[in-house]
């Protein structure tokens, strides 16, 4: 990966700081985890609104984090990813799994909001290891608000761990090859550009 010299740096090259802020803030106050929704919405705004991967190319804090630590600071071993990790079956299956897990967060939050579940002040890493995190919540909100925050933080931390592990062994931004948001926005952009082509073709044939 090409290193960016100081003279070539733009403000968005520092967005990796936002990743650090997000995880540090959630460590002390779990309600900051709600900010994670920004990472879900912005790529979709770019894809649906502009039909581009502009968010991935410039404004994704995680993409910038992987570039900075893997490429710029040299933490990446730079191995080539196996072909199956780049292939559609794995990327699509991972995307479906990822969004199913996100759907489960919404469902659990809904259950708690309707009195059918209770708040658990833990972080779940890699969907299996539970870590107590009670210091990060001092009360003062509805249980479902805190529950969503705990679950979203777990979700973001899990995907960050996978992204960092991928960065350490493979090339810096290898996570982006199978990142579920990247796969989804790529599908949206493809769909948008093929609809545009159809409209243009239709206009030329008239």
Site for ligand SF4, rule CB under 6 A: 43, 56, 60, 62-63, 175-176, 179, 181-182
Q: Which of 149/179 has CB closer to ligand SF4?
A: 179
Minimum gap (Å) between residue 152 Cβ and ligand SF4: 16
Q: Which of 26/54 has CB closer to ligand SF4?
A: 54
Minimum gap (Å) between residue 30 Cβ and ligand SF4: 23
Minimum gap (Å) between residue 28 Cβ and ligand SF4: 24
Q: Which of 93/200 has CB closer to ligand SF4?
A: 93
| The 3-state secondary structure of 79-128, one letter per residue | ECCCHHHHCHHHHHHHHHHHHHHHHHHHHHHHHHHCCCCCCCCEEEECCC
3-state secondary structure of 75: coil
The C-alpha atoms of residue 94 and residue 179 are separated, in whole angstroms, by 8
Sequence-ordered list of residues with C-beta below 8 angstroms from that of 58, at least 6 positions apart, any chain: 10, 12
The residue number with the shortest CB distance to ligand SF4 is 182
Contact criterion met (CB below 8 Å) for 74 and 167: no
Q: Which of 50/110 has CB closer to ligand SF4?
A: 50
């Amino acid at each position: 990966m090409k290193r960016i010299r100081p003279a070539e740096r733009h403000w968005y090259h520092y967005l990796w700081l936002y990743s650090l802020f997000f995880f540090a803030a959630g460590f002390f106050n779990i309600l900051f985890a709600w900010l994670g929704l920004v990472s879900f919405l912005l790529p979709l705004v770019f894809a649906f609104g502009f039909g581009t991967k502009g968010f991935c190319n410039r404004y994704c804090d995680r993409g910038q984090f992987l570039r900075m630590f893997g490429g710029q600071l040299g933490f990446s071993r730079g191995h080539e990813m196996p072909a199956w990790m780049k292939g559609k079956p794995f990327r699509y299956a991972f995307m479906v799994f990822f969004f199913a897990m996100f759907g489960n967060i919404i469902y659990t939050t809904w259950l708690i909001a309707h009195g059918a579940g209770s708040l658990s002040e833990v972080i779940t890493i890699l969907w299996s290891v539970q870590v107590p995190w009670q210091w990060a919540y001092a009360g003062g909100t509805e249980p479902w608000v805190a529950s969503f925050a705990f679950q979203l933080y777990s979700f973001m931390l899990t995907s960050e761990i996978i992204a960092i592990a991928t960065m350490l062994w493979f090339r810096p931004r290898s996570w982006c090859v199978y990142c579920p948001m990247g796969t989804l926005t790529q599908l949206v952009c493809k769909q948008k550009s093929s609809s545009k082509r159809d409209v243009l073709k239709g206009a030329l044939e008239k």
